[in-house]
């Protein structure tokens, strides 16, 4: 075989190898693009619009700490939550409780806290941080019938949780938004805590009183309504939120550590 022929054959083999490598690279890039696309579009389009109407999910993720106060009968509770770790602390004049990342603790020398600290410590955070907490990992989204109230039909999204996600993964949530503004208007939710059984009893909260905090649209108040199934009736109870602050920084780790006098009510 001549030297020229050998050189030509080597060139063909090299060219074919380059084509195969290029094809593999294109295929790999297409797969990466597909995976990226799935990650970017893991929320329903309607829910993306709700996030946008409330200031945007990416903007929300830029904040590390949330503070707000809840008005009680004759005092306020101050709630502070780490948005990344979900550590939290609640301070009232005569008691405090919180979650240090592993354990729920309570400091209540006078016995003034009436409730279940394990259930309560982050209960109102999830109500308050709507709709953004519905972007958490381990959530499944599905269609749900519109909610009708005073002549307006509110489209919605059903939210359920993967097994083992959170304390009450059998709970379901139903977010309903205004058909024109896409602002969240209603939240339906079930409670299965400690029972271990799913529930068909959907409680309803109205979100129609908003405030701007660092350009994020967050609740100023929320109102529970009486109901018959999905038929909304009269307003029952309103909870007010005040002194709301969002921080770009994480608070010091020690901030969420239980005081020495506290007792653990749930410990790993």
Q: Which of 92, 125, 76, 68 is nearest to 242 (CA)?
A: 68
Give the pLDDT confidence of 124-152 residue by residue, as tens digits.
999 999 999 999 988 999 999 999 999 99
SS3 9: helix
pTM across the whole model:
0.81
Give dist(CA 117, CA 101) in Å, integer. 15
Residue 4 has pLDDT above 70, yes or no: no
Specify the pairing of strand 184-189 against strand 172-177.
antiparallel
Give dist(CA 69, CA 262) in Å, integer. 22
pLDDT of res. 13:
45
Give the pLDDT confidence of 195-223 residue by residue, as tens digits.
566 678 999 999 999 999 999 999 999 99
200 Cβ contact list (under 8 Å, min separation 6):
190
Give dist(CA 168, CA 155) in Å, integer. 25
SS3 11: helix
Give the pLDDT confidence of 7-32 residue by residue, as tens digits.
434 444 444 554 444 444 444 444 43
Helices (H), the chain: 3-40, 45-53, 57-61, 117-120, 123-128
Which residue reads 């020229």 in tokens? 4
Average pLDDT for the chain: 85
């Amino acid at each position: 075989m001549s030297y020229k022929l050998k050189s030509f054959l080597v060139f063909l083999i090299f060219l074919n190898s380059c084509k195969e490598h290029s094809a593999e690279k294109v295929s790999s890039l297409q797969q990466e693009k597909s995976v990226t696309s799935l990650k970017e579009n893991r929320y329903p389009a309607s829910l993306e619009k709700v996030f946008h109407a409330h200031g945007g999910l990416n903007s929300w993720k830029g904040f590390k700490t949330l503070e707000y106060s809840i008005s009680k009968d004759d005092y306020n509770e101050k709630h502070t939550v780490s948005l990344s770790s979900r550590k939290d602390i609640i301070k009232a004049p005569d008691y405090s409780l919180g979650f240090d990342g592993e354990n729920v603790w309570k400091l209540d020398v006078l016995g003034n806290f009436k409730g279940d600290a394990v259930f309560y410590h982050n209960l109102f955070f999830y109500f308050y941080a709507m709709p953004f907490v519905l972007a958490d990992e381990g959530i499944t989204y599905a269609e749900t019938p519109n909610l009708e109230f005073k002549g307006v039909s509110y489209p919605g999204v059903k939210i359920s949780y993967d097994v083992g996600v959170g304390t009450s993964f059998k709970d379901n949530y139903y977010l309903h938004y205004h058909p024109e503004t896409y602002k969240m208007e209603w939240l339906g939710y079930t409670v299965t805590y400690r029972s271990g059984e799913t529930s068909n009893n959907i409680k309803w909260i109205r979100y129609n009183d908003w405030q701007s905090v660092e350009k994020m649209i967050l609740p100023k108040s929320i109102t529970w309504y009486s109901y018959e199934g999905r038929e909304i009736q009269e307003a029952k109870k309103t909870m007010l939120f005040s002194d709301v602050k969002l921080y770009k920084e994480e608070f010091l780790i020690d901030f969420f550590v239980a005081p020495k006098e506290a007792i653990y009510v749930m410990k790993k």
